[in-house]
Amino acid sequence: MNGIYLLLGSNIEDRMRALNTAVSKLQASGMQLIDHSAVYETAPWGILDQNWFLNVGLKVETSLSSHDLLLACQKVETQMGRERKLKWGPRIIDIDILYYGNQIIDSGSLKVPHPGIPDRKFTLILLNDLAPDETHPALGLTQSQLLEHCEDQSEYLPTKYQLDIDLA
């Protein structure tokens, strides 16, 4: 993968406002937005009895190390009121690092590429929008190939929502 890819999701309060606020805060923390996917409404993962998410994928550039990027993403989540009470539970904002270039990282706090990529259709849909021909550094398959082989039957819907952010 060339570039750094993030996944943003929100399923409580004003979901689109949360996505826009998160992107603005990420930019203020030293990230440059290069591209973004369409905004999709997606079924929840893990715990199904909750509101659907709005999700968007971002391609960013930053001078932050992968660990500092994780800290910056977590800081944005905390500033926006994210509570880490329940894994896969409702959240005002969730920011996942999907790829950090071609790096493979497995530290206590960070796993990149994100281990859920091959199994989560909602993640692959966003990555397919952004970089269909980019290869997963550990699996050797493109994002479009991963999507084709994904067995996840979770629903997703394209939306007419747009980020209120200009690209670099």
96 is catalytic: yes
Interatomic CA distance for residues 167 and 164, integer angstroms: 10
**Active-site hit among 94, 119, 152, 166:** 94
Q: Based on the residue annotation, tell me whether 91 is a catalytic residue of this protein.
A: yes
Q: Within a 10 A sphere around the Cβ of 44, how many other Cβ atoms?
A: 18
Q: Which residues pair with 158 in a beta bridge?
A: 40
β strands within the chain, DSSP E? 4-10, 31-36, 40-42, 53-62, 94-100, 105-106, 111-112, 156-158
Catalytic position from the list 17, 68, 91, 120: 91
**Contact present, 7 and 115 (Cβ < 8 Å):** no
Question: How many residues appear in the chain?
Answer: 168
Residue 166 annotated in active site: no
Per the residue annotation, which of 35, 49, 68, 82 is the catalytic one? 82
User: Which member of 15, 35, 68, 96 is catalytic?
Assistant: 96
Where on the phi/psi map is residue 152: left (φ > 0), alpha (ψ -120 to 50), or beta?
beta
Q: Residue 157: exposed, middle, or buried by beta-carbon count in 10 A (0-12, 13-18, 19+)?
A: exposed
Which residues are tagged catalytic?
82, 91, 94, 96
